[in-house]
Every structure is written in C-alpha cells, then in structure tokens.
Structure 1
Amino acid sequence: MSIQVGDRVPEVTLKRLREGLETIDTYTLFDGRKVVLFAVPGAFTPTCSARHLPGYVEHFNDFRSRGIEVFCMAVNDPFVMQAWAKTQSVPDGLQMLSDGNGEFTRALGLEMDASSSGMGIRSRRFALYVEDGIVRASFIEEPGQFEVSSAEYVLEHLPG
C-alpha cells in the first residue's frame, strides 16, 4: 500500500552530493519544513528530462515564494543525479536526492518494476507535499502518465 495523506514520511537514509557524498535521513530532510518531493523513474530518461524536472526548475521560485523547498528523487546513484542536475541547470537549493537502492521508494510503497525496459526496480512518477514530515497532499501518476505530478499541477493544487 502506498503512503497516504496524513501519514508520516518513513525514516530511511538517502544520498546526495554537496561538498562530497552525504548520507541524510528523511526525518532530517522533512521535519520542520514544507517540501514538495517529486520522484522520477530515472535521470536522463525522456519524459523526466524533457518535462518533469524542467517544470520544477522553471517554477522553483514559485515554490520558494510560498516557503516550500523542492526535492527531486530517483532510484539512481548520487553521481548520476549530480550529472543530471548539471545538464538541466538545476538551481542551488533544489535538492537532487539519490535513493540508489530504492529503500525509500519501497517504504513509500511507490516502486515499479521496469525490468522489461532493463531498468530494474524504479520509482513511480509522483509528487508529495509534506509539512513537518506529514504528507498533506499526494500526486501519484498512473503508469505511463505525466499529468498530476507536474510542477504546474502541484502548484495549482497545493492545500491551503
């Protein structure tokens, strides 16, 4: 079962590159903050690179003006996430998070099997709006779709 509105974000560690490779737990990432976490099936994949991440880059300041941080996550290693961020001109402050082993994705109940495409277990495409570690809104795509997790849709449908 996937995470629901009202649920606390599960505690798992993720990786990110800043000054070097960092391990950070999800409670530290989400507690005391308003966050939109969006996840993509894979860095450098067509829809993720052409539409999903670019929308959040374009609207990054719109989220920030509402006091909301933006995190992008994929079941990729942190070096791939960093390289993808560079090719996509990701602004400072938009965190690129690596769930390399898919542990957070599985804890959220939002994994998918992309083995038929040679990609193994990946994250479904989704966005979550989280306040102080509690999911306040979820935008989970049906397989093969890109509608409800876009930056534009999430901005229009944020609670409050």
Structure 2
Amino acid sequence: MATNKRLPFVTFRTRVRDETVDGTNPYRWEDKTTDDYFGSKRVMLFSLPGAFTPTCSTYQLPDFEKLYDEFEKQGIEAVYCLSVNDAFVMNAWGKALKLEKVKLIPDGSGEFTRKMGMLVAKDNLGFGMRSWRYAAVVNDGVVEHWFEEEGLSDNCASDPYGVSSPQNILEALKCLRVASAP
C-alpha cells in the first residue's frame, strides 16, 4: 500500500472481557471498525503471518511490546498487531505472551488484509490464506509510512523479516524526526 492512502473500512469481530458475563468464559462479542482502531490518532500497525508462529512469537510481537515506550516518544499513541486469526486465537496468544501494551486485532476472515493487498496463500506451510508481513504508521486512518517485507507472493519459500521489525521502524522514525526538525 502506498503512503497517503486511506485504510479500507472493515468491521472486526472481537472478544472482550466482561465481568457481567456468567461462567468460566466471561467474554462477549464486540464489533470494532477500522475507524475505532485508526481514526483520530497516530498509531503503529503491524501485521504478521500467524499467532503462535516462531518469528512472530519470539521476535516481532515481543519486541514491539518491549519497545512500546520508544514508539510513544516518536508520537505513536497505540501499537496494534493484526493477523489473519480469529478472536479466540488472538486473545489466547496475547495471554500466553503476557501482553500489556500492544493491542491485538483479529482479522479472522482476512477481509482487511485482502483489501490492503497483503493476503497471501501459505498453503506450503499448511496455513491457508494469511497476511504478508508489513507495518505502517497510520495517522487518522491514512498511511503515513509503509514498511513491507520484500518478496510478496503466494507460498513464498522464505519468511522475510527485517523491514517491518520494530527496531528498523524506530530507526526510520527517528531519522525522519531529525530530518524534519527546524
């Protein structure tokens, strides 16, 4: 996706904790839209192939969590991780990683990812349709900066990771801030 493009409007089906719900699973469905997540604020969005996968669980998501405060210093108000996984999987993954700062967005049907042009087949890994790895700084629903891994393709033999790493993005944001300083 190019910079200065508006994110596609979709509705995400999420599960949120609600103590008024009886039983051992106190969650309820809540629809959230693109505007709910990305409107009226400057945020970091990153997307990855899947919850509980090695690179995503060992490096990418944990490093965004660790560097969250550094993103705030660059004017980022929230950090969102999106994956083509359902709300149950995303909630379990967040709990397993003990996330406190990064928020997870379930794109269970892949609608947002498809409309972003980032939906790829990963049948070679037994995944089906998933997101290509990318990140974006989004300001009021519009892409301000775009970081996409090379080689976007179906059934890619490799899993490139570097361009969309939090370390790379922070370095780019710091350079941009210095370049735009008076």
- What is the percent sequence identity of the aligned residues? 39
Name 2:132's counterpart in structure 1: 124
Q: How does 1:77-92 map to 2 (within 5 A)?
A: 77-91=86-100
Q: Which of structures 1 and 2 has the bigger CA Rg? A: 2
Name 2:163's counterpart in structure 1: 148
**Runs of 5+ unmatched residues, structure 1:** none
TM-score in terms of structure 1 length: 0.92
Residue 141 of structure 1 deviates from its aligned partner by 0.8
Name 2:35's counterpart in structure 1: 27
Distance 1:39 1:154 in 2: 13
Deviations 1:71-91 (A, max 9, x none): 001000111111111111211
Q: Secondary structure at the match of 1:89?
A: coil
Q: Does 1:134 align with 2:142?
A: yes
Q: How does 1:1-160 map to 2 (within 5 A)?
A: 3-19=1-17, 20-68=28-76, 69-91=78-100, 93-143=101-151, 144-158=159-173, 159-160=176-177
**2:63 partner amino acid:** G
Relative contact order (alpha carbons < 8 A, sep ≥ 6): 1 or 2 greater? 1
Cα contact 1:10–1:104 (8 A) shared by 2: yes
**Runs of 5+ unmatched residues, structure 2:** 18-27, 152-158, 178-182
Name 2:154's counterpart in structure 1: none
Runs of 4+ in 1 over 6 A off after TM superposition: none
Aligned residue pairs total 157
